[in-house]
Structure 1
């Protein structure tokens, strides 16, 4: 890949993710979908859910079962 090809790839990737945007009702999942696809094409040492999430800067909050102890 050359430096001249990068803008073309970016435009094609944006068109691809945009064409599938109808699958998502909210804008947030659309953005994450695009970021995960970019991660799949990026040069990452490992391509798994963890590294793709880190690349997409996804903040995941884990709530323990104790947090739901008041729910009946």
Structure 2
């Protein structure tokens, strides 16, 4: 997942508010056992996505992170 977070950080560049949101997502994933508490992590992803609706590349990257989390969650059940 670090690869995906780093990619998101590259995409948001120097936009302070978006960088902060991505870093908050990263911390949430660490605290929530690498995203295993999926509801909280998905909530953060949705908030970040709402902030980036004007940038389809960032939205696509966020969707990829969400898909990866959901897939891992399904495997663990």
TM-score normalised by structure 2 residue count: 0.31
What TM-score do the two structures reach when normalised by structure 1?
Answer: 0.33
Name the structure with the higher helix share: 2
Higher relative contact order (CA 8 A, sep 6+): 2
